[in-house]
Structure 1
Amino acid sequence: MKIKNLFLALFFVGALASCKKDETLSTNVTSKSKAELSSDSLTSFSPDSKGIRSNKLAVTVPVDPVSGLINFYRLFSPFEQKHFFATGQEANILLAQLTTAGGPAPMNNWLLEGTACRLQQSPTGSFNAPLYRYYRNTGDHYYSNSPNPPLYYVFEGIAGYMSLTPVSGSTPLHSYFKRRGDFDRLYTKDFNELGNGNSTWQYEGIIGYVL
């Protein structure tokens, strides 16, 4: 009977020691994991509503209109190999988006290439023609001066207002689409950038006159 009691006592002591060891190990692992995170890891990156990580230290662009004018920003993704044109806060959301497509380390998915043009925020004088935005579920965003959406596209909204005829201080906004490789669209005031198009880019013409 004494031997049996001694055996049970030794068993409980061993179990208690094992639990204490597991608790210590768990605490050490947790502390080590926290220590390995860089000081800005918890503040620079966070998931958005769709679970996409975003960079809180990313480049940001002005979103408020100045004298009634809004910037039409030109972005490019080296990973998706396409451009995106946006105004206001949408541009900042994309500029903060991170991707691991280029490797294990998160990198900015979209880069700011500049301001494509400026648009009137509301109809003003000759600048009363809407720049419509349409979307197709292939991921294509299409800007046009036509109120009629192309086949398979849905209306998304109006980016801003431009003139359909040349006016003082305005510049033509040229439209292109990529016909070889990954599909892409490009809108630019600089006709010399792609001219009348080439073997890769198809010139669509002038869609309006902007600032």
Structure 2
Amino acid sequence: MHPLPLPDRYSPRSTAEAPALSAVPAPVVDDVPAGTHGTIVLEGLPLLRRPEVAPLRPAGPEHQAGAHTRSGNAMGRTRRGLLAGAAAAFAEHGLRRATMQHVAAAAGVAKATLYNHFRTKDDVAAALLEAELDRLTALAAAGPRGRALVGLAEEVADHAVLRRLAETEPELLARLLCAVDDDALTDRLAGALRLDRGGAGLVLRWLVGLACRPGTTLDRARQADALDRAL
């Protein structure tokens, strides 16, 4: 039996005929979108920490100050809706039991939309935390300090996610509060309330205590008044 003749493209070539390696284009590998869903126990998430290297906010499209576009505004609205859904999901299910599907359903979007903005549940929780810190800092900076202290106390005491954790996951709440970056948050409070770091640290410890045991509205008002007079 004689072997069948091979086409010319399969015929052996000498090294001189082979194309140079530098002439061979490198293969293009498409980026694989991250879509891995993890029901992560958020034990390692720093509650009020502002890391210096990796920002709490997941990476998103770069936005230049003053450049307001229709797509940018739409993305901002979508993100706010997702964080509102996250707050509702965490308040209903707790941090451990809530899933990305719960967050998407509470926000009224497809899960794929949620994954376009956040890769994991930890990313969602971190972004929600940062948004809440921004909101509370703005509240603290508005108006007289006494009124700001009362407002902060009510926000912490009535926060749905904190109340859910205090009732059903107190050990997780305690671990998260212990992970608070005192220095970073103290600086934020000092600037917003126009206090020195000692006074701001006292306010921070008071608010952390309210997160665990909020007491009554009257108790909080009296404490805020006493704290304001002492600062």
Q: TM-score range by the shorter chain?
A: under 0.3
Which protein is richer in helix relative to its size?
2
- Point out which structure has higher relative CO (alpha carbons under 8 A, 6+ apart): 2
Larger radius of gyration: 1
TM-score, normalization by structure 1: 0.26
